[in-house]
A and B are shown apart, each in its own frame.
Chain A
Amino acid sequence: MLRICCLLLCMLLPCNSFAESTASNPELTSAISKLPKNSLRELPKLIETIEATESPKIKTILTSLLNGDLYYIRANKQVVRVVKNTEGLYDQWHILTDEQYPAVTKSKLKKIRTNNSIRGQIKSVLALLDLSHKDPSVRLEAVKRILDNPDKESTARLKKRLAKESDEAVTQTIQVAISVAALKFGSLEEQIAAVSVLAESLEPAANNVLSRTKESLTEKTAELAEGETLSAQEKTLQTAVNKALDKIEQKRDIYSFAENLFFGISLGSVLLLAAIGLAITFGVMGVINMAHGEMMMLGAYTTYVIQQMFPELINYSLFMAIPAAFLVSGLVGILIERGVIRYLKGRPLETLLATFGISLILQQLVRTIFSPLNRQVQAPDWMSGSLEINPIFSLTYNRLYIIIFSLAVFFALMLILKKTPLGLHVRAVAQNREMARALSIKSDWVDAITFGLGSGIAGIAGVVLSQLTNVGPNLGQSYIIDSFLVVVFGGVGNLWGTLVAAMSLGSMNKFLEPLTGSVLANIIVLVGLVLFIQKRPKGLFPQKGRSAD
């Protein structure tokens, strides 16, 4: 929000000339000149005076005051807006003329002090100013700022605005704000009418004011003497309030379910990305790669390196990082396959140990090169923010993109395996190595490529993880057990099973979390999985047939 204000500030500045503001607004000039001498007690009044001038400068002044950027020069009591520069000095501009003065040290300046209630006042003044802004989203923001604490003054202005308002969302929110005010200050009839509007709103303010009304009615009942009852209208209000609260509560339950589901699926997509690489190397090749987590770690570090190389291209670096991470992890995977795993064919436990050794080496390598400390990977702008469905339910963009992306990777992989000659070879080797070789498929080559593919996808998963957590040498370690369990849970060799398993595990985790806390949720899911695997060692969707034994 602050950023928006500053942005607006910059946009507004050029069009305000010195002549206009001083000439047309003597009241403003005098009000400003009073600022340095003012005490906190008189400040609210002064702010009202400033507001009453209706000058376009008000916004700059009040925003600076709100942010604590408004100072006066001790020597001549001139009011200035200041910004601390890189040398530790203060750049200053005259608040009305925007004339820049030479930068000074802090001792030459004195800050114009505010307190909490004054800041509240400024906020509502600013909000009212924004009410007539031409951008509907700014207007909506403005109404929302008023929503929590509307007074009679702002309600009157809101009503005025409502007549002119064309945007639907803004209209609705204004109505809610007016109703909040009505419930607070209005007559019983107005209150009853307001409740029916508020019942439809999911704004936290609506819920708050309704519960407060409920409490005050309960108190009133308690204070009544024996034999006395609430008036009929009060009773109507009480039932209406109770009903409205129930209705809101119900909606909130639905949305909190939806929110858990969203978090669950987004965790599931991360698990899916982490697990499908493993599903290929383990499910298709039968090779358990304990260094799989480290392939993800390499992917995450690749993202970090690319951001370091092109710091000015943060917004595009992910698009470079995805193929780069795929290549880096994929190549390392092929190296591991050629260098170690192929000599351990048919000895799964030895493969497990050797790849574990490789994972230790890779971790230490990264520690030596990048230091053992976590590295921060920046998120591009388009990943931040969220898609607001309603006031209590919004989908953050980064999670949304991750869900879409991991599904895209999943289906791309399905396509590769089902529709390309490479996929055909991979499946042929997986089913019957000897036979495939007899058909002059180079099984060694297919193994290396399959392993590279699985590792490369792990690298891509690393890129995604870098957007969610810090990048460190232990990044992958925590995912290897989870991904393995996902693969086994879904049924080895069955990519669809992996998808279902990842999504259901993610959701289970997120639904348990509010009840038990995240650590316990983790433990419960883990133990549940272990029990499940013991009951059905072949997973949710086992492969049947004679060859399965």
Chain B
Amino acid sequence: MTTSTQSIFSFLPPSLQSLATKMTSLHFVVTTLFVATLYVSFCNLVFEPGSALHVSTYTVTLLGKYLCYALLALSVDLVWGYCGILSLGHGAFFALGGYAMGMYLMRQIGDRGVYGNPELPDFMVFLNWDSLPWYWAGSDSFIWMAVMVVLIPGLLAYVFGSMAFKSRVSGVYLSIMTQAMTYALLLAFFRNEMGFGGNNGLTDFKDILGFSLQSDTTRIVLFIITAVMLAIGYAISHYIVKSKMGRVVTAIRDSESRVRFVGYKPENYKVWIFVVSGVLAGIAGALYVPQVGIINPGEFSPLNSIEMVIWVAIGGRGTLYGAIIGALVVSYAKTRFTAIMPEAWLFALGGLFVLVTLFLPKGLAGLAPQLIAKFKRSDSAKAADTADTKSEVKS
């Protein structure tokens, strides 16, 4: 690892070289994020539209969305890549975080809704409700809802995790159960009686903390906050993974029963890593909603959750930066594909599932070392080949 980094940075002056080799993946990711965010924000705000260097607000929002996905991918990787828990229901945590934020944004509309009711969101007026349901209490306070963004997904993860892991449900069973969980939530949130806007979900947001969601500045700020949260999320995950806890978790992935005989309680570790992951996913959802302007039950659909898994699979599970790369690459591909030929996207996605599991078990992050190794081998093989041909020619 160190040697390859050295060789990569060999073009740099010695002082920078030593700095580069000391950099861990954490520093690298955070620095890249920082530079990219700075660049995008600067280009959006300073250069006029039409200038070659201008980055449109649309692009900024799109990038913000990708960063939310990256944070989400990080949370999936934490449980799947490191702990071997394949969750097919992480969309549930994401959506719950999103709904918590959506509720706050709904209340920010105030009397500007179609029905002009200062208390009730439009859909409640439409359903002839005369007061807010109890669980909407406090939804006009940003602080309270920010707490909910963390608390609700965390609580769900804790309850689900403790039940599942304590009774030693694992492997495919667990995956299907997580899928059933998000499916049940999907059905539930489709119901108007749930009080979350039913089919249409929550939308038509106007302001966040008094700033208009339509303004460029708000969007840039949201983008920057997302980048910062991603960096923090990355740092937290990095710390966990590199701590002894991370090693216990990896050990659980490889041989859960052995961990038990060493004296650790794998179920506790699994529950807590699941909770951390659920909370990260919830935060990603909360950041996602103000940027895309809508949250509806579709976010709970099992297909969404499984798409997150493919981000991680393609990026490379078990490496945190791999998850981020995967989320960015696949989301970008999806944006391009659905714009050019929407039909082909599901073919491509399905194909990716099959190809990655068959040929790229370590994902893109594992591809680079593999390719380098192959390249070296084929180099030497080529050398041998040429030597052979030369000798043939001579003879």
A adjacent to B, CB under 8 Å: yes
A110 to B319, CA, bound (A): 82
- Interface flag for B309 (CB, 8 Å): yes
Nearest CB on B from A490, distance (A): 13
A-side residues, CB < 8 A to B, are 288, 340, 343-344, 348-354, 356-365, 367-368, 481, 484-485, 488, 519-520, 522-523, 526-527, 529-531, 533-535, 537
Nearest CB on A from B297, distance (A): 12
A349 and B346: CB pair below 8 A?
A: no
From DSSP, what is the main secondary structure of chain B's interface residues?
helix
Nearest CB on B from A255, distance (A): 30
B173 and A354: CB pair below 8 A?
A: no
B350 and A357: CB pair below 8 A?
A: yes
B-side residues, CB < 8 A to A, are 86, 163-164, 167-169, 171-173, 175-177, 179-181, 183-184, 187-188, 190-191, 302, 306, 309-310, 313, 343, 346-347, 349-354, 356-358, 361
Nearest CB on B from A484, distance (A): 5
Cβ-closest 3 pairs across A and B = A357-B353, A360-B350, A361-B350
Which of A360, A365, A519 makes the CB contact (< 8 A) with B187?
Answer: A519
Give the chain B neighbours of A288 by CB distance below 8 A.
172, 176
A344 to B313, CA, bound (A): 15
A367 and B357: CB pair below 8 A?
A: no
Which of A368, A519, A531, A533 has the most C-beta atoms of chain B within 10 angstroms of its own C-beta?
A533
Nearest CB on A from B49, distance (A): 37
Give the chain B neighbours of A343 by CB distance below 8 A.
358
Give the chain A neighbours of B309 by CB distance below 8 A.
353
Nearest CB on A from B325, distance (A): 18
A352-B175, A488-B173 given as contacts; is B190 within 8 A of A519 (CB)? yes
Give the chain A neighbours of B306 by CB distance below 8 A.
353, 356
Give the chain B neighbours of A522 by CB distance below 8 A.
187
A469 to B231, CA, bound (A): 48
A527 to B163, CA, bound (A): 12
Known contacts A359-B350, A363-B346, A523-B187, then 16 further A-B pairs from the complex at CB < 8 Å, ordered by chain A residue: A288-B172, A343-B358, A349-B175, A353-B309, A353-B353, A353-B357, A354-B354, A356-B306, A360-B353, A361-B346, A361-B347, A361-B354, A485-B180, A530-B180, A534-B177, A535-B167
The residue in chain A whose Cβ has the minimal distance to the Cβ of B313 is: A353
Give the chain B neighbours of A358 by CB distance below 8 A.
350, 353-354
A360 and B175: CB pair below 8 A?
A: no
A481-B302, A519-B190 given as contacts; is B180 within 8 A of A526 (CB)? yes
Which of B183, B190, B343 makes the CB contact (< 8 A) with A481?
Answer: B183
The residue in chain A whose Cβ has the minimal distance to the Cβ of B352 is: A357
A-B contact pairs, 25 of them (CB 8 A): A288-B176, A340-B354, A349-B171, A352-B86, A354-B354, A354-B357, A358-B350, A358-B353, A360-B346, A360-B349, A364-B346, A365-B347, A481-B180, A481-B302, A485-B176, A485-B180, A488-B176, A519-B188, A523-B188, A526-B187, A529-B180, A530-B181, A530-B184, A535-B167, A537-B167
Nearest CB on B from A269, distance (A): 22
A533 and B173: CB pair below 8 A?
A: yes
A520 to B351, CA, bound (A): 35
Give the chain A neighbours of B180 by CB distance below 8 A.
481, 485, 526, 529-530
The residue in chain B whose Cβ has the minimal distance to the Cβ of A343 is: B358
